[in-house]
Structure 1
Amino acid sequence: MSRNDSPQGAEPASPLLPLENFQAAFRRPALLGAAVLGGAVAMSTAHAQSSSQQAAQTLGEVTVTAPVESTYQAPATASSPKFTAPLLDTSRSITIITDELIKDRGNTSLQDVLRTTPGITLGSGEGGTPTGDRPFIRGYEASTDIFIDGVRDYARGSHETFNLESVEVLKGPSSAYTGRGGTGGSINLETKSPKLQRFVDVSGGFGNAGQWRTTADANLPFSDSGAVRLNLMKMGGEVPGRDGVKVDRWGIAPSVAFGLGKPTRLTLSYSHIENNDMPDLGVPFSNAARPDRVTPPDVARNLFYGRHNVDFRKNVFNTATAKVEHDFSDAFKLRNITRYTDTLNHYLMTRPSFDNCTATSGAPCSTEGAGAQFRRDDRARWRSSESLINQTDLYGKFQTGSIKHSYIAGIEFSKETVYSKSMTGGPGRDHDSLHSPNPNKAYTYNLVYGDRTTDGHIKTQSVYLMDTMELTPKVSLNAGLRYDKFKVNNTTDQRTDGMWNYQLGAVYKPMPNGAVYVSFGTSSNPSGENLGQAGGADGPAGGAAIRDLGPEKSRSWELGTKWDVLDHRLSLTAAIFETRKTNARTSDPVTGDVTLAGNNRVRGLELGVSGAITPQWNIWAGATYLDPKVTRYRSGNNVFDGKQMKFIAKQSFNVWSTFAITPQLTVGGGINHVGSRFVDDVNRYVLPSHTTYDAMVRYQFNKQFSVQFNVNNIGNKAVYDASHVGIFANMGPGRSYMLNATYRFD
């Protein structure tokens, strides 16, 4: 059985639905959902009647059986040509979450996907660090290591799944592949692109807490080598288990391709995603008067500590991309990508905390008993960014003697500019009951915005070369080298660094379907890579330290094995690894100056399974054990040597499996476990571990129409996703269920 990228469709009988009809329907979500559900049932009934009449006239029956492709197994190769060998022959851990897996699990955001991916834990922003996706991979932050179609995404915000083919997680230091950062790994979002098959998928769903979601995916060829594709999404309602926390987001992603299947191809794409939702920082957490080993307070999980009539968040992504490809031959190819992005992250939100505050009555704020109180503070931000990036790759194959080479050489130029506005005049501080907060208080306030100012810019120039050398059918070597010239200017300080990073690997294949590998790689985190937010990548360095601090350096080794078994239907992976940062940012205990005298390391074990056990039984599972340790870290007079690195769970595992009981009926279920995490350097504040259970059932009435019912967090477990250094604890959704109907015109 071979792996595939996407299902093949037949020529359709129906045209594309007009865009204005979708826009009108988005303004009436209930009508659109009812139309999808009711119309699809009607079409299904008509189709069944027509099929019955045709069957009565059938003289004979011929049954054709084709192999069933695994929908959870990753494709044979990663999407980027920078991976110059098939995944089985790549000396790195790469986890790929396919579109089918995302849909089966009912994931609608990148945060949903990462929440159920072993080896990844989530972090939180609170103002200085912008709100949005903040993953930690193998112990290190990767919020600025998110890519879209292999090109760095400079935005800080919340990503969606409606336009994704897959999510690819590269584990371990990845600067040789992706440039700056990538200490623990990087994340690539592979988007949907035009195909030469005609289809229109329309979906609508309803769930508890007033949740609703509608999507459309329409692909229309207009010639034998050209096609257009349009993806649409609108979602609303509330977050289950979080009192009145509303979700309001929409997106549109058109694209057009010319020359598909030809030597020269051009793809133009655009994406607009907008979030207008209620920010929710969860529950107040830390209090200096409480004893060691502090966990979040025992409060009802649905309590909302924000302000319904005040708090807001507007997060906007606009992304335009032009990709040109030309095949000079099967062994020599050219690709150029140009992308322009502008973003906005604008919010006013409540930061709940204790902080030994004093209530308006003058009494200390207690965290125990019926009189317990907490404090609300404003956190406001207006931050926008513009980025322009151009990447050119030459890649292909050649042979020197008996050695076969698969290579890529490239150059990259980029510029990012960050802007901000001051925000004043919010409601300010107030106090409320911990166990019965009133989020509907009336506030008198007047937001005042300053002029838009430039926070600074980043310019990068890069050159890189990767080569996989097949010495024999059983032995191959991989080498990669990249140079980045990184220049940052925050309007008061500037710095330029030249960074060399490399990747080395060796693969031995005892059998054609199995490999054992070892690899070594490096990464660099320059000062100022998080321009526009407080703090550095993994330490305390801010803008004032840009001029005096060079890049942090990390090195990592990995030993692993990969096997494709059961006629290549099922992929098994295992790896042990260590990442060591020997010059992490820290503070001098005497002067308080930020220096590069810190050290930390993460050791770990990772196991993975993906694919099909039988043609009816799919599985995706993984388990990770991490040992994240601070070997040297100072902050003023505080010494944190020997402590566990914050935000990181030592143990995490996930199992998701589906079984086709009949060709029409599929059931599925999963378990997700995340271990406890310290959220401060002292290792005092702890987010407790959690285990959640999910389930799914889908019925395929016919080729066109299906209905799927998902229940996530069946036990309504209190899930603490993240915390910002123990000030507050973000709450994940409670029990959530959604009934979704999909109709495919083809």
Structure 2
Amino acid sequence: MGVTGKWRTAHGVAPQRGQTLCGLALAMIGTQGVAATSALAAPDRISDDEKKKAHPDRPAPRHEHIEVVGLWHDASPKFTAPLLDTPKSVSIISRQLLTQTGSNTLADALRNVPGITMGAGEGGNPVGDRPFLRGYDAQSSTFVDGLRDVGAQSRETFNVESVEVIKGDTGAFAGRGGAGGAIYINSKMPSLKNAIDASLGFGNADYKRGTFDGNWKVSPTGAFRLNLMGDDQGVAGRGPTHYRRYGVAPSLSFGLGTANRVTVMYYHMQNDDLPDVGIPYSNPAFNARSDGAARVLATGSGAPVKVPFDTWYGLKNRDSNQDGIDMGTLRLEHDFSSTLHIRNTTRYSETTQNDRWTMPDDSQGNIYYGDVYRRLNSRISTLDTATNQTDFYGSFHLLGFKNQFASGTEFTREQGKNDTYTATVNGQNVASGTSFTRCATALAFSSYTCTSLTNPNPNDLWSGNLTRTGNPNSTRFDTKAVYLFDTMTLLRQLQANFGVRYDNVQSTYRAAAGEYGRGDNLFTYQGGLVYKPRSNGSIYASYATSAIPPGNSVGQGSDDISLGVDRTGNIGSVLKPERDRTIEVGTKWNLLHNRMLLTGALFQIDSTNFKISTPSGGIANGGTKRVRGFEIGLNGQITRDWSINGGYTYLDARLLKAGGAGAAAGLMDGRHAPNTPENSLALWTTYRIVRPLTVAAGVYYMSKVYGTDSPTAPKFVPSYWRFDVMANYKFRRHYSLQLNMQNLANMRYFTQAYTTHYATQAPGRTAFVTLNAHF
């Protein structure tokens, strides 16, 4: 049984068994990237001397096992067993898959994992990535190099080595949140080699993109790495929508290959975008006008209205998203011995947003008269995060049983401040009253605050003014946590895995109405059994929990006012944390001499205590939700030249008790949960025709996604298929030319379904050619 792939770690030290989950980046021999679902191959036995000969710049590996398929990226020691022996579902997107598929953003990357949808921003909620895993918002469960990164932003992949999606309750791993899972982003790290990768791409929709990735060995144990990115592109078929961004990410490591290592990293990205504004739904509440206007549109099914593909309701002279992120990280590591290690990571980051964008508001039923109210959504925000995390991990024998353990502490302070803009026309606030929102006055149209449903003009010169509202709110979240994980080998074919975490969280919300605070003590845990009938396969059962306290998103998402006052005057600080649990059984098998990984899992997630409205219009912890589903994955090489990587997920997500005020009380009980497709498929396959030429094709499917499954006024986006192709030709040893065509059939589909008002339309056919150089 031969090893496919090669060793790689962030610090030049062979990975520990406790480091075998977070950061896996598959690189199949003779092909490019994969998205691996769940665990990988059973380990082969390779002597330390053989490993030392293969990598003379680092000490011998600290354990006797190595993954047969793939290469490890050192990210987190919390996972104390190889992926094959870890009782969880995990999907991993490698650097090579990101490159092959042309996935330049996190949203692009997550398309390769079935079962994930992207939620939309609305009102005071930020524009940016809002992934939903197994039907649960994971914006606050996103991590960069093992540390939580809540700040709202549209993330880039130029400095990303791999992305890991851990599914099911991850409270023990991740702390607060994590009902549907967590997303771990692993950055590129310095290594003891000299290498340069650069790319330059051009395409339709004014696509221009350049990246640079340089790594230099600066001393026998030191290395410096620099990643740069510049991107300027439109969006095919989506009017004047345009994205401009640049990024820089230097990192420096010393002590690589020794027992003491230091790494310093800095990350900066800035964007200045003209955002897409979406398409309104076809069935808002009808509100008859009193000016004698004739109704021109019938009530629709709840899908987005049928308008020309490039319909864009924004205002070029008003709309803009200007976001930035600065992040500095210091990591210190020490090996006490071959079986005992410690790592400390300190980070400070600041995320800023200055956003003004038009939402096609349907709340007054303007579409029935052929009109759209150009509602201003805005946000001026800053999120500062300071965190320190220590991991102490290794292995030991106790009473004849081998234990792989990890323990640690976390201390984090997150503080968000948010304000908005106010739009006025002739001194009138356009958001108050009905003269503008109903599109019922001449001024609403002459100021271009209202426009045509089917023929809006993005070049309209809006005559209003924007001023800072000056009524900011702020949320602070302080976390103190301790955790412990262990994998115990009970028998050669039986392992027990458990983890516990205790969080003390203190949150404070400040606004003009007053200050409200609360504290919570959160205890989350997980446990699982893994049975290995053969060395290349495992069968597991697991149970895991999570907790989501009020204010979880620190004002960066949909939970920004849960510490305030509800409509009945009760202070939100009396609300309790949401509680979730996941029960999962699954199996993982390496086939075709460990070239192919087959995985499958059945799971159920139960949520209680989530916030709902009461019949009287208040807020209470009375909600319950259940998600049942299964997933399968097939990833690896059929032959040396042909690989196939993909998966299918089925989700049945129901709101068992959803509350509701007045006549709507109980209306949503038993209905589909939002942002959860029943069926989703992602498949990517590559074939090397001749040595220099590789071709690939991708197939993606997602069934209907609800913004709300209301029986009286549903909002949804229809199911869709998407097809992508790629061709890569290598020439003159150091160069390659790659063609990507995305949405090959130019299908009209939607990527986000908000609860009300609008859905976000995907780009049309996109083609770009990239010249890559590697030295």
Give the TM-score taking structure 2 as reference length.
Answer: 0.84
Residue of structure 1 equivalent to 2:522: 499
Q: 1:298 to 1:452 in 2, by over 3 A?
A: closer
Q: 1:534 to 1:177 in 2, by over 3 A?
A: closer
Instruction: Give secondary structure in 1 for the equivalent of 2:690.
Output: coil
Residue of structure 2 equivalent to 1:16: none
Question: Do residues 320 (structure 1) and 328 (structure 2) align?
Answer: yes
1:469 to 483, 488, 491: 488
Q: Distance in 2 between matches of 1:192 and 1:717?
A: 35
- Deviation string 1:487-531 (CA, Å, 9 cap, x unpaired) is 100021100000000000010111111100000000000011123
Instruction: Give secondary structure in 2 for the equivalent of 1:144.
Output: helix
1:141 to 121, 137, 141: 137
- Deviation string 1:199-235 (CA, Å, 9 cap, x unpaired) is 1111100000110100000000011210000000000
Residue of structure 1 equivalent to 2:101: 105
Q: Distance in 2 between matches of 1:742 and 1:678?
A: 40
Identify which range, 472-481 or 426-435, moves more after superposition.
426-435
Q: Distance in 1 between matches of 2:678 and 2:626?
A: 13
- Deviation string 1:651-679 (CA, Å, 9 cap, x unpaired) is 00011001001110000001000110111
Residue type of the alignment partner of 1:320? G
Q: Which runs of 5+ in 1 are unaligned?
A: 9-65, 358-364
Residue type of the alignment partner of 1:595? A
Residue type of the alignment partner of 1:628? A
Kindly indicate whether the alpha-carbon contact (under 8 Å) linking 2:726 and 2:739 is maintained by their aligned counterparts in 1. Answer: yes
Kindly indicate whether the alpha-carbon contact (under 8 Å) linking 1:673 and 1:691 is maintained by their aligned counterparts in 2. Answer: yes
Question: Do residues 726 (structure 1) and 756 (structure 2) align?
Answer: yes
Q: Distance in 2 between matches of 1:452 and 1:199?
A: 51
Question: Do residues 567 (structure 1) and 593 (structure 2) align?
Answer: yes
Cα displacement (A) at 1:67: 6.1
Kindly indicate whether the alpha-carbon contact (under 8 Å) linking 1:209 and 1:240 is maintained by their aligned counterparts in 2. Answer: yes
1:259 to 255, 259, 281: 255
Q: 1:197 to 1:605 in 2, by over 3 A?
A: same
Kindly indicate whether the alpha-carbon contact (under 8 Å) linking 1:253 and 1:271 is maintained by their aligned counterparts in 2. Answer: yes
Instruction: Give secondary structure in 2 for the equivalent of 1:435.
Output: coil
Residue type of the alignment partner of 2:657? R
Residue of structure 2 equivalent to 1:388: 386
Kindly indicate whether the alpha-carbon contact (under 8 Å) linking 2:405 and 2:487 is maintained by their aligned counterparts in 1. Answer: yes
Cα displacement (A) at 1:543: 3.0
1:373 to 371, 382, 388: 371
Instruction: Give secondary structure in 2 for the equivalent of 1:104.
Output: helix
User: What does residue range 82-161 of structure 1 map to in structure 2 within 5 Å?
Assistant: 82-161=78-157
Q: Distance in 2 between matches of 1:471 and 1:187?
A: 31
Q: Distance in 2 between matches of 1:211 and 1:323?
A: 37
Kindly indicate whether the alpha-carbon contact (under 8 Å) linking 2:509 and 2:563 is maintained by their aligned counterparts in 1. Answer: no
Q: Distance in 2 between matches of 1:348 and 1:292?
A: 29
Question: Do residues 685 (structure 1) and 715 (structure 2) align?
Answer: yes
Q: Distance in 2 between matches of 1:441 and 1:502?
A: 56
Kindly indicate whether the alpha-carbon contact (under 8 Å) linking 1:417 and 1:454 is maintained by their aligned counterparts in 2. Answer: no
1:482 to 501, 522, 544: 501
Q: Distance in 1 between matches of 2:199 and 2:580?
A: 45
Instruction: Give secondary structure in 2 for the equivalent of 1:543.
Output: coil
Question: Do residues 651 (structure 1) and 661 (structure 2) align?
Answer: no
Kindly indicate whether the alpha-carbon contact (under 8 Å) linking 1:4 and 1:69 is maintained by their aligned counterparts in 2. Answer: no
Q: 1:413 to 1:149 in 2, by over 3 A?
A: same
Kindly indicate whether the alpha-carbon contact (under 8 Å) linking 1:674 and 1:690 is maintained by their aligned counterparts in 2. Answer: yes
Residue type of the alignment partner of 1:636? A
Cα displacement (A) at 1:554: 0.5
Question: Do residues 595 (structure 1) and 595 (structure 2) align?
Answer: no
Cα displacement (A) at 1:454: 5.7
Residue type of the alignment partner of 1:568? N
Residue of structure 1 equivalent to 2:14: none
Q: Distance in 1 between matches of 2:371 and 2:706?
A: 24
Cα displacement (A) at 1:70: 6.4
Residue of structure 1 equivalent to 2:343: 335
In the alignment of these two chains, the number of paired residues is 675
1:170 to 166, 177, 187: 166
Q: 1:7 to 1:645 in 2, by over 3 A?
A: same
- Deviation string 1:608-643 (CA, Å, 9 cap, x unpaired) is 122222221122111000000111111212221111
1:223 to 214, 219, 222: 219
Residue of structure 2 equivalent to 1:616: 641
Q: Distance in 1 between matches of 2:3 and 2:399?
A: 31
Residue of structure 2 equivalent to 1:272: 268
Residue type of the alignment partner of 2:376? D
Q: Over the residues paired in the alignment, what is the CA RMSD in angstroms?
A: 1.9
Residue of structure 1 equivalent to 2:549: 526
Q: Distance in 1 between matches of 2:470 and 2:401?
A: 61
Cα displacement (A) at 1:7: 7.8
Kindly indicate whether the alpha-carbon contact (under 8 Å) linking 2:689 and 2:695 is maintained by their aligned counterparts in 1. Answer: yes
Residue of structure 1 equivalent to 2:66: none
Cα displacement (A) at 1:147: 0.3
Q: 1:422 to 1:646 in 2, by over 3 A?
A: closer
Question: Do residues 434 (structure 1) and 453 (structure 2) align?
Answer: yes
Q: Distance in 1 between matches of 2:682 and 2:284?
A: 33
Q: Distance in 1 between matches of 2:166 and 2:314?
A: 36
Q: Distance in 2 between matches of 1:68 and 1:95?
A: 21
1:287 to 280, 284, 288: 284
Q: 1:327 to 1:452 in 2, by over 3 A?
A: farther
Kindly indicate whether the alpha-carbon contact (under 8 Å) linking 1:619 and 1:658 is maintained by their aligned counterparts in 2. Answer: yes
Residue type of the alignment partner of 1:706? S
Instruction: Give secondary structure in 2 for the equivalent of 1:229.
Output: strand
Q: Distance in 2 between matches of 1:480 and 1:191?
A: 25
Q: Which runs of 5+ in 2 are unaligned?
A: 10-27, 37-69, 287-297, 431-435, 437-448, 566-570
Q: Distance in 2 between matches of 1:190 and 1:277?
A: 25
Q: Distance in 1 between matches of 2:79 and 2:29?
A: 28
1:671 to 684, 696, 699: 699
Residue type of the alignment partner of 1:208? N
Q: Distance in 2 between matches of 1:328 and 1:610?
A: 37
Q: Distance in 1 between matches of 2:31 and 2:378?
A: 49
- Deviation string 1:77-109 (CA, Å, 9 cap, x unpaired) is 673211100100000001000000111001100
Instruction: Give secondary structure in 1 for the equivalent of 2:313.
Output: coil
Instruction: Give secondary structure in 2 for the equivalent of 1:91.
Output: coil
Residue of structure 2 equivalent to 1:625: 650
Kindly indicate whether the alpha-carbon contact (under 8 Å) linking 2:607 and 2:624 is maintained by their aligned counterparts in 1. Answer: yes
Instruction: Give secondary structure in 2 for the equivalent of 1:180.
Output: coil
- Deviation string 1:555-586 (CA, Å, 9 cap, x unpaired) is 11000001122222221110000000122211
Residue type of the alignment partner of 1:585? K
Question: Do residues 398 (structure 1) and 396 (structure 2) align?
Answer: yes
Instruction: Give secondary structure in 1 for the equivalent of 2:768.
Output: strand
Identify which range, 568-577 or 330-339, moves more after superposition.
568-577
Residue type of the alignment partner of 1:72? V
